[in-house]
Amino acid sequence: MQIISVKDYQALSLQAARLIGAQVRLNPDTVLGLATGSTPVGTYKELIRMCAEEDLDFSNVTTVNLDEYYGLAPDHEQSYRYFMNQNLFDHINIDKEFTYVPDGLSKDLEASCADYDDLIEFLGGTDIQLLGIGHDGHIGFNEPDDVFTAGTHLVDLTPDTIEANARFFKSADEVPHQAITMGMKGIMSASTILILASGKAKASIIRKMVEGPVDPQVPASILQLHPDVVLIADEDALSELMAL
């Protein structure tokens, strides 16, 4: 794992956007795996600026998102489809037909999860998969568990995740208790994985991800098995690493 230590969130966002921007310039047909949450918002802002001011061209880019709340419609303000439109897709020259987010309203979950995995396979995996990390170590919504789950699947969100995400809703009662998430096979099929972490609150889980054993109770620890992972993190998020 390559670790890029930066001063703060602003620097993290610039670095991540530069890496993604370089990939898109070198390969205009890039397949990007994208993430929601607070952490990638600054990266998306910088990509929007690069599209407007530096002719970064997304017209041939395909995107595949990690997850979606189960039960939320695409136009629900807290859905991840809505988040992606608001924070990125509405502000760049991407063809939205080629932006994929799991279907939160699927009536046939088994079929739609299998379709999502087929889509990722058809695309040949993502070129870059962007990830945040939950305080409990989740990536996408792959929560701590006894096993790593390979395929796209429905998950019960942990109380920790529901509490962490309540800040985006009017109250914790409104946070859906389930979500559809890309599984570990989809995530690990990326050529490069770019994981971002900012702030002291992530320091302990970053230490477990990087220096702890590979353990499904720390889902992000599986990244130790991927040959090309770049962790961009600020000094606070890296503050508990022994090896730095």
Residue count, binding to ligand PGA (CB under 6 A): 6
Q: Is 174 a catalytic residue?
A: no
Q: Which of 143, 153, 234, 236 is catalytic?
A: 143
* Closer residue to ligand PGA in complex, CB, 31/34: 34
Residue 211 annotated as catalytic: no
Vertex 82, ends 41 and 216: CA angle to 5°?
65
DSSP letter string over 137-172?
Answer: --BTTB-S-SS---S-EEEEPPHHHHHHHGGGSSSG
Instruction: Tell me the closest approach of the beta carbon of residue 102 to ligand PGA, in angstroms.
Output: 15
Judged by CB, which is closer to ligand PGA: 50, or 157?
Answer: 157
The span of 37-45, 56-64, 150-158, 225-233 binding ligand PGA (CB under 6 A) equals 37-45
Please give the span between the terminal C-alpha atoms of the chain, in angstroms, as a whole number.
13
Which position among 46, 67, 68, 117 bears the catalytic label? 67
Residue 228: active-site member: no
The three-class DSSP label of residue 133 is coil
Residue by residue, DSSP assigns 15-74 as: HHHHHHHHHHHH-TT-EEEE--SSTTHHHHHHHHHHHHHS----TT-EEEESEEETT--T
- Return the number of the residue (39 or 189) whose C-beta is nearest ligand PGA: 39
Q: Which of residues 122-141 bind ligand PGA (CB under 6 A)?
A: 132-134
CA dihedral 125, 126, 131, 136 (to 10 degrees): 0
In angstroms, what is the minimal distance from the CB of 53 to ligand PGA? 26
Q: Is 143 a known active-site residue?
A: yes
Of the pair 88, 133, the CB lying nearest ligand PGA is at: 133
The Cα 218–Cα 211 span in angstroms is: 11
Options 46, 68, 117, 138, the catalytic residue: 138
Work out whether 59 is an interface residue with ligand PGA (CB under 6 A): no
Q: Interface with ligand PGA by CB under 6 A: which residues? A: 37-39, 132-134
